[in-house]
Structure 1
Amino acid sequence: MVMTNVAMSAPTPVVSMKPVVLSAPGRGEDLQVGVSAPAAAGDLPIIVFSHGFGWSMNGYAPLADFWAAHGFVVLQPTHLDSRTLGIPAEDPRTPRMWRFRIEDLKRVLDGLDVLEASVPGLSGRLDRSRIAVAGHSWGAQTASTLLGARVLDSDGVPGEDMSDPRVKAGVLLALPGLGDDLTPFAAENLPFMKPSFDNMITPALIVAGDHDQSALSTRGPDWFTDPYTYSPESKSLLTLFGAEHSLGGIPGYEVAETTDESFARVALIQRLTVAFLRSALHSGDTSWQAAATALREDPNPLGKLQSK
């Protein structure tokens, strides 16, 4: 068992509600959101999670369930690229899909009152001063913009600042790196994959797999460490040994995208993300320090951690 010497509270019962629908004029589809929360306790910090390409509010149970069982309200919007919506590639919204994703996260934050009121027993229990965003793959790219990352235009000029002061921390899982080494397909069809991390000032934990070889980049797995290398301070990088893009199975176990299934690797991510967010959102919390020490002292570590 990994990190058994790190204090982790026992999981609590979780209540879930989905879909909760937020009105989304101009989007073409109202926004469906999944809500998971501890059944009891108040002053609950919030995680808004952005799924990877094609997924939905129904995915990423290994993370969402664990976070909710350990004291967080988890909000999972279904983006327009979700396979559950069946929007064809020739849809006129496709070129702006990345912008709609960012707007989805902000719409969730704007709609906290509606989401809170939609789940029986949740009213009055959300702590709006402690909000984090998280995401995997394209979802990590989406979440990173709320932390201060920007998309470069064709001339290399940073675009609009879409950061959100309500967000105090982030967890970025398999976040793509710089756009200098994109494959011809990605360069032509995915112009938003040209980020600048220079202004990503919000504290964040970045998680990368050292066997994650993207079909969108001509570089190797080190591409996924760019967000740490090129961002300002208040960042930590967890590099997982042997991990591919699913990082052991965070989208779900026994699904097609989990090419490197590892329950131990996912357990490590679960524990480290909870520890990081607790310390990032609660002044004086020592969970992250304890978790980092435990990983460093593990005789058979599943990854390495560095911070700046």
Structure 2
Amino acid sequence: MNIGPLSLPIGPIIFFLSVAIAIFAGWLIDKGRRDTDPVIFAAVIIGLIVARISFVLQYLPSYQDSLFKILDFRDTGFEPLPGVVAGLITIGLVLARRKSIRRPSLLATVVGLAVWGVASAATGLMTPSSTVPDNSLFNAAGTSQPLAPHDGKPHVINLWATWCAPCQAEMPILANAQAGYPGLDLVFVNQGERPNTVDSFMANLNLHVNNSLFDPSLSVAKATGTKAFPTTLFYDASGRLLESHLGRFSEATLEATISHLYPGITTRRAK
């Protein structure tokens, strides 16, 4: 789940808000001395590093062509469990030597973890229970076709525009995914632009995609409550919405999402 017109994923927002609450709780318990701050900061930094390394190792083929992509954590590719374990071990090692701050540090940690867990669970329950819109749109050939192919496959709908920088960055990744996941119907729905604008964009990137549809009135965005682009909607084979993602995908985070939502779908890598 994501939030806001600036394509800010809600997961990191919840995480850093939880860290801030933990720091504040430590400050209150420690009567304003802030002795717990370095402990929490150290645990957060080490936890994030371990969580990132764990994610990268899991999806290493998606990162092997560029060291920069490993360092570019804007794709929010983190494995939570190893990070939490590493953070708790860090806190334990520090507190083993500093008995004076054990109580405020431990209580602050419990508060932060509780806020993070409850908020994450709550946002997971907020995923709207809806189905794919019953829209028909014009394709590149100028003929009308339904938004959902109804061919028995799960389908992924990407709402995008050529002027959107995150859309530009993820389009080659999504084009590869369309070729690499034959068991999925990946549909590109351009929002509010002319076909010649889209054609020029695709030609400049040397990309060819199937299932490219045009939505000049933004009817799909309105029907799905989409407020910003790119938004990617994941549906099961019966048309039920499983998850929506606002913001750019990296190759690894898209692969992780597809693996999570469609465990039976296999990939043939397209490069």
Task: Identify whether the pair has TM-score above 0.5, normalized to the shorter chain.
Answer: no
Higher helix share goes to which structure?
2
Higher strand share goes to which structure?
1
Larger Rg: 2
Instruction: Give the alignment's TM-score, normalised by structure 2.
Output: 0.27
Instruction: Give the alignment's TM-score, normalised by structure 1.
Output: 0.24
